[in-house]
């Protein structure tokens, strides 16, 4: 048997015997034995996270992604507050005068909101939450300005809200009276 075959054939015993601990190469201790003179780089300084007192810390997950998402939500909130500054978006009781159930509103129907007439472009499920659905009715007026009526299917009258498209975001708009 030549030298090449000896190296190939020298493997540990599998069942019941001892395996050769160096069969696959050098051990970890041997591989890093001469690293006394190696200087390792200093670790990067950690970016401090903004902590909110009212939020509980989450266990696990990708912290950076959560932080970016939180920052984006804060920016959206700031934009929304700036857009609605002085407009008083708190909505009181909405007076509803319905000629048919809200679920039966379809494309082409006309809806009057606070005296202004809108035409229904589309009525669809925005988000399906299982036992209830968040619905959206896409509207436009004579000036082609887009709006949405949103509500939850199980509590339509109590959850009815109007949103107006401003640039690229739908901004909540208070309503007092709606009829269809």
User: What is the number of domains present in the chain?
Assistant: 1
Domain span at residue 150 reads 95-179
Q: Tens digits of per-residue pLDDT, 43-102?
A: 767 766 555 444 444 445 577 888 888 888 877 777 766 665 545 456 678 889 999 999
Q: How do strand 110-113 and strand 95-97 relate by DSSP bridges? A: unpaired
According to the model, what pLDDT value does residue 10 have?
A: 46
pLDDT at 157: 86
Q: Does any domain span residue 111?
A: yes
Of 52 and 141, the one with more pLDDT? 141
Residue 163 lies in a domain: yes
Residue 34 forms part of a structural domain: no
3-state secondary structure of 8: helix
56 in a structural domain: no
Which of 14-18, 45-49, 74-78, 146-150 is the least confident region? Answer: 14-18
Greater confidence (135 vs 20) lies with 135
Residue 76 domain flag: no
């Amino acid at each position: 048997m030549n030298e090449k075959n000896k190296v190939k054939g020298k493997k540990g015993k599998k069942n019941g015997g001892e395996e050769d601990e160096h069969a696959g190469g050098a051990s970890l201790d041997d591989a890093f034995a001469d690293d006394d003179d190696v200087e390792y780089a200093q670790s990067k300084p950690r970016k401090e996270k903004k902590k909110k007192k009212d939020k509980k810390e989450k266990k696990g997950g990708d912290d950076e992604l959560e932080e970016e998402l939180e920052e984006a939500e804060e920016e959206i909130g700031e934009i929304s507050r700036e857009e609605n500054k002085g407009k008083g978006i708190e909505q009181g009781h909405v007076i509803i005068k319905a000629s048919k159930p809200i679920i039966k509103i379809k494309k082409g129907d006309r809806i009057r909101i606070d005296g202004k007439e809108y035409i229904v472009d589309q009525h669809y499920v925005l988000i399906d939450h299982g036992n209830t659905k968040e619905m959206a009715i896409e509207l436009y007026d004579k000036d082609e300005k887009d709006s949405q009526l949103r509500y939850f299917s199980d509590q339509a009258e109590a959850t009815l809200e109007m949103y107006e498209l401003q640039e690229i975001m739908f901004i909540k708009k208070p309503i007092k009276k709606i009829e269809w």
